[in-house]
Amino acid sequence: MEIAGTSTEQDGGAVLAVRAEDLSIAYDRRPGAPSAVDGVSFEIPLGHTLGVLGEAGSGKSTLARAVAGGARDDQRGAPRIVGGALEVLGRPVRDISRRGRDALTLEVGYLPQDGGSSLLPQLTVGENVADPIYARDRRFDRLEAGGMVARLLDAVRLPLSVMTSFPHELSRGQRQRVALAKALVLDPKLLVADDPTMGVDVLVRGRILTVIADLQRELGFSALVIGHDLRELRSMTQQIAVMHAGMLVGYGDVDEVLATPLHPYVAQLARTQGTLPTRVRA
């Protein structure tokens, strides 16, 4: 499979959406400053989903932002890759040019934390979802764009009547699903969803994750989904990466990671899932 002149075929023939190798990411540019992400390695095959779990401050959101194309050297306050390698859809991301980053982000949908709050308040729901289309091509046919928006709103389980509503007229869970539709409107090959249920009512959280899982199966995109609840993540994927203090402390099949914890934090997770006795040597 070729993507803009580069191949996603890796050594050994595996086709990958994301490959991180000894990846380190920092915000402080001074030599020797601590990294927010410290030497992590993982892979996401095309068409698969990886769930990333960790406490607040574990580096998972920084990782998501980097995979979505937000790691850069030319922007103050942005994360910066300071070690190792990161490839997204076959493209090396470290030191990528601005033109290369712009091309890559057209193929990566990014749903940030509380993405519903990032919707433009002066635009209707339909205009918000269509916004990435016109950012790419201002002359795009309006009728065709409207059809694309309508199909996506239906796919995320929202009535078409919300197209003419404004974001403040919707619930938080509805706004989050609008933001998901916006992230998918350009038909990306990879979706990066950073804790998509954060702040959403507990009765709605499962619905949002179900929508993402259903769309992933239907449309075939790859996905990196950040979460804080293991039960929620394992409802949509069996592959997880567990982060703690910037490092990867568990990676692989959920049941295998929990059955043989290699770090106290993973052992704690296993106990909360009822897969380990309460007294375990971690």
- pLDDT for 130: 96
In sequence order, which residues have a C-beta less than 8 Å from that of residue 57 and are 6 or more positions away? 245
pLDDT recorded at residue 243: 97
Structure tokens at 241: 């990466």
Check residue 132 and give its pLDDT. Answer: 93
pLDDT, residue 223, reads: 96
Average pLDDT along the chain: 87
> pLDDT value at position 189?
96
pLDDT per residue as tens digits for the range 14-66: 579 999 999 999 998 777 778 999 999 999 999 999 999 999 999 999 999 99
Q: With contact defined as beta carbons under 8 Å apart, do 164 and 126 qualify?
A: yes
Beta bridge partners of 53: 227, 242
Strand order in the sheet with 37-45: 37-45, 16-26, 80-88, 91-92
C-beta separation of 179 from 123 below 8 A:
no
Helix 142-155 with 202-219: angle, nearest 10 deg: 120
pTM: 0.87
Domain spanning 2-107+188-272: which CATH class is it, in words? Answer: alpha beta
pLDDT in tens, 161-202: 999 999 999 999 899 999 999 999 999 999 999 998 887 777
Domain boundaries, the chain: 2-107+188-272, 118-186
pLDDT in tens, 70-104: 887 767 778 899 999 999 999 999 888 888 888 99
Cα separation, 215 vs 232, whole angstroms? 16
Beta bridge partner(s), residue 239: 253
